């Protein structure tokens, strides 16, 4: 395990009320027990709770990167599960990327479970053999606005480059911008082909010592495990039902229990709530509608609002 890391010493996060809170990063790792746990960073979240990111030994010497409450050591969240043959410095790289997402408020992690210590990294279970058609890095998914996405080696603070998704706006000669797997998927409003290209690239790079894939693997894992999913299919089905059956957004919202009353006591559905969940209107303070929705809300709208199974409105 590495004994030091070198991210920036302070990152700032903001709560929903706009209050800035510091994310303090330790420059020296702290060993606990028999070296099974190494603390990579400490920070204060938007609720004022001190948390820490640590590594723990997993199945067959794999490495679990875990975010947990610093005081109780509970509320453990799986940030990434790294293969045993990955450079140990990759844990610090994943931690730095994760803290950057914490700072931007754009992160989702599932709860750590006992099964995580008894199974190989999740990415390995889904890795496929590289396509015979050639390197997946040659593919360039195109955004509707004209931009394209491409997997490229990117310089990092490590001595070797890391494989990341880059967005290139036209013209092609323009300098690209590094984006996460989630950002690329959200921009395309589809998991494919980003998911398959990423999976195949990780399979090709397995065991590669001159190119880091730690952040890319962690990003793909978080997209797979996140309860936040794409809302495109739900939007398409809802608008089709409205056109075909004469339903209204107000009626669907009312069925979901989202009701408002005017000064005369008359009830109507919260159409703005539904429109934001469907990606028709932007969230408060945002300029563009979100392509994401929580699975619980998707299920509520599907079952109660449309009378459908959630599987019928999920993006595959």
Q: What would the DSSP string read from start to end of 135-169?
A: -GGG---B-TTS-EEEEEEE--SSSS-EEEEEEEP
In this predicted model, what pLDDT tens digit does every residue of 72-96 receive, in sequence order? Answer: 998 999 888 888 877 778 888 888 8
Average pLDDT of the chain is 80
Predicted pLDDT at 5:
31
CB 56 within 8 A of CB 36: yes
- Residue of 30, 24, 27, 22 lying closest to 6 (CA atoms): 27
pLDDT digit string, tens, across residues 104-122? 776 677 888 888 888 877 5
**What per-residue confidence (pLDDT) applies to 1?**
35
pLDDT the model gives residue 172: 59
Q: Is the pLDDT of residue 25 over 60?
A: no
Separation between Cα atoms, residue 13 and residue 277, nearest integer Å: 25
Q: What is the mean pLDDT of residues 114-133?
A: 60
Stretch 250-275: mean pLDDT, rounded?
92
Query: In angstroms, rounded to a whole number, what is the distance separating the alpha carbons of residues 190 and 231?
Result: 10
DSSP run (H or E) holding 196: helix 194-204
Q: Report residue 10's pLDDT band, with 50, 70 and 90 as the boundaries.
A: very low
Other Cβ atoms within 10 Å of 309 Cβ, number: 11
Q: Give residue 113's pLDDT.
A: 85
246 is written with which tokens? 């004469």
Whole-angstrom distance, CA of residue 68 vs CA of residue 77: 6
CA angle 221, 231, 105 (to 5 degrees): 55
Of 185, 186, 149, which Cα lies nearest the Cα of 168?
Answer: 149
CB distance 42 to 52 below 8 Å: yes
pLDDT at 114: 86
For residue 160, count CB atoms less than 10 angstroms from its CB and return exposed for 0-12, middle for 13-18, buried for 19 or more.
middle
What's the sign of the alpha-carbon dihedral 242, 246, 250, 252?
negative
Q: What is the pLDDT of residue 290?
A: 95
Q: Residue 280 CB: number of other CB atoms within 10 A? A: 16
Q: How many alpha carbons fall within 13 Å on the CB side of residue 64?
A: 26
Whole-number pLDDT of residue 16: 34
pLDDT at residue 169 in the model = 82
Q: Which of 309, 313, 149, 300 is nearest to 232 (CA)?
A: 313
pTM above 0.85, yes or no: no
Per-residue pLDDT, averaged over 50-73, amounts to 90
Closest listed residue to residue 24, CA positions, set 47, 44, 7: 44
Q: What percent of the chain has pLDDT over 70?
A: 79
What pLDDT is attached to residue 35? Answer: 38
Query: Is the predicted pLDDT of residue 70 greater than 70, yes or no?
Result: yes
pLDDT at 14: 38
Q: Which of 13-22, 68-77, 173-182, 234-243 has the lowest mean pLDDT?
A: 13-22
Per-residue pLDDT tens digits for 203-240: 888 777 788 888 898 899 888 888 899 999 999 999 99
Q: In this predicted structure, what is the pLDDT of residue 18?
A: 38
């Amino acid at each position: 395990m590495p004994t030091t890391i070198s991210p920036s010493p302070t990152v700032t996060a903001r709560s929903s009320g706009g209050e800035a809170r510091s994310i303090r990063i330790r420059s020296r790792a702290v060993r606990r027990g028999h070296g099974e746990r190494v603390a990579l960073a400490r920070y204060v979240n938007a609720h004022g709770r001190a948390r820490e990111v640590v590594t723990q030994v997993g199945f067959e010497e794999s490495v679990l990167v875990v975010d947990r409450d610093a005081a109780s050591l509970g509320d453990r969240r799986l940030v990434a599960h790294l293969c045993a043959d990955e450079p140990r410095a990759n844990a610090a790289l994943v931690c730095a990327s994760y803290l950057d997402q914490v700072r931007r408020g754009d992160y989702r992690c599932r709860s750590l479970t006992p099964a995580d210590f008894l199974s190989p990294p999740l990415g390995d279970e889904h890795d496929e053999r590289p396509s015979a058609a050639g390197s997946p890095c040659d593919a360039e998914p195109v955004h509707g606005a004209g931009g394209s996405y491409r997997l490229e080696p990117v310089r990092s603070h490590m001595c070797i480059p890391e494989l990341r998704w880059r967005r290139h706006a036209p013209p092609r000669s323009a300098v690209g911008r590094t984006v996460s797997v989630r950002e690329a998927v959200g921009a395309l409003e589809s998991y494919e082909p980003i998911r398959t290209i990423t999976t195949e690239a990780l399979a090709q790079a397995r065991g590669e010592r001159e190119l880091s894939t730690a952040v890319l693997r962690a990003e793909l894992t978080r997209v797979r495990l996140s309860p936040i999913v794409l809302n495109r299919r739900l939007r398409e089905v809802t608008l089709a039902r409205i056109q075909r059956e004469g339903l209204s957004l107000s009626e669907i919202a009312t069925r979901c229990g989202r009701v408002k009353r005017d000064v005369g006591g008359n009830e109507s559905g919260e159409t703005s709530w539904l429109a934001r969940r469907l990606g028709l209107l932007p969230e408060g303070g945002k300029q563009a509608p979100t392509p994401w929705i929580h699975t619980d809300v998707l299920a509520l709208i599907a079952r109660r609002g449309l009378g459908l199974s959630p599987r019928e409105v999920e993006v595959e």
